Every structure is written in structure tokens, then in C-alpha cells.
């Protein structure tokens, strides 16, 4: 990774984000603490952590704790999805706690809604997506954004 990160730095302003993925999908980098240690070990300054709410709810003890572990220095990218990968704000993810922690560290990077559709057969089997989580992708995005904005407005 160090070689790739050095090349990315030479090529331009490129940041590499490594995603923490739950233990049911990989044994590599399951929690923020491990991902930050990995970024520090690479030591190039352009390798950061990608947090994903779907994986966090399975692995992290605290959403705020994971964010604070990364801090602004190491947090580079976020998937704001629900525990079932459905419409954000309709499930178990503690978005208010999560957003408060993001504000606290001064995070100003992307927040991306990620979901999957079972009609993409190549992906649905690998990601265990067996049912539609919204009628359309547009509904998921529009309703998810509406819900996330409402939660953010409370902060």
C-alpha cells in the first residue's frame, strides 16, 4: 500500500480511503481503530479511513467513538446507509450521535448514500441483498437525503 500511496502522491492530489468492513465479509480492517493504525503504518499522509454505517453497526461499540478515533486527520469518506442498507433514517443507525461526532471533529468530506438492488445479480449474491429496500433508487436517495437533512437540522 505504501508504494501505491507514494505513486498517488506523485500523480497528483490523490487520497486513498480504506473501508472498514464487517468480520462476516473480511478479516482485514473491521474497525476504525485498526484502520487508523493501518493508515499510520503506511505513513504517507494520503491514506485515510472510509467509514460505512452498515459495517459500523456490526463492529463498532460507538459511532461517535469510531469518528473520534479517526479524527479529522484520518477520516476521508463516509457511507451513510442504514443497518439493512435501506433508506437512511428508517432503521437502527444512530445518525444523530454520528453527525454530532462529525461536527465535533470538523469533518467536511463527502457523505454518500450507498445501497444495492437485488436486480444486480452479480452483486446481490456477494452482498446478501435479497429484497428491494425501496421501490426505486430515486426514492431511496430522495427519502434518505430528506431524512438525513432533518436529523442534521436537529444538531
Per-residue pLDDT tens for 71-116? 999 999 999 999 999 999 999 999 999 999 999 999 999 999 998 7
Domains and CATH numbers, the chain: 2-153 (3.20.20.150)
Q: pLDDT tier at 118 (50, 70, 90 boundaries)?
A: low
Name the pLDDT band for 121 (thresholds 50, 70, 90). Answer: confident
**How is 92-130 classified by DSSP, letter by letter?**
S--HHHHHHHHHHHT--S-EE-----TT-HHHHHHHT--
4-43 core/surface letters (b: 16 or more CB in 10 A; e: else): ebeebbeeeeeebbbebbbeeeeeebbbbbbbbebbeebe
Predicted local distance difference test score (pLDDT) of residue 133: 80
- How far is 39 from 57, CA to CA, in rounded Å? 22
The pLDDT of residue 119? 73
Catalytic residues: 19, 114
Amino acid at each position: 500500500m505504501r508504494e501505491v500511496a507514494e505513486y498517488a502522491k506523485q500523480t497528483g492530489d490523490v487520497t486513498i480511503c480504506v473501508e472498514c468492513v464487517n468480520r462476516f465479509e473480511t478479516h482485514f480492517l473491521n474497525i476504525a481503530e485498526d484502520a487508523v493504525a493501518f493508515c499510520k503504518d503506511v505513513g504517507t499522509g494520503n491514506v485515510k479511513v472510509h467509514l460505512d454505517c452498515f459495517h459500523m453497526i456490526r463492529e463498532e461499540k460507538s459511532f461517535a467513538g469510531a469518528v473520534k478515533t479517526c479524527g479529522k486527520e484520518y477520516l476521508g469518506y463516509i457511507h451513510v446507509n442504514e443497518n439493512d442498507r435501506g433508506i437512511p433514517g428508517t432503521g437502527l443507525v444512530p445518525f444523530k450521535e454520528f453527525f454530532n461526532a462529525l461536527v465535533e471533529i470538523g469533518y467536511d468530506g463527502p457523505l454518500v448514500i450507498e445501497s444495492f438492488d437485488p436486480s444486480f445479480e452479480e452483486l446481490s449474491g456477494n452482498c446478501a441483498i435479497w429484497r428491494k429496500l425501496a421501490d426505486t433508487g430515486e426514492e431511496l436517495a430522495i427519502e434518505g437525503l430528506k431524512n438525513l437533512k432533518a436529523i442534521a437540522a436537529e444538531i
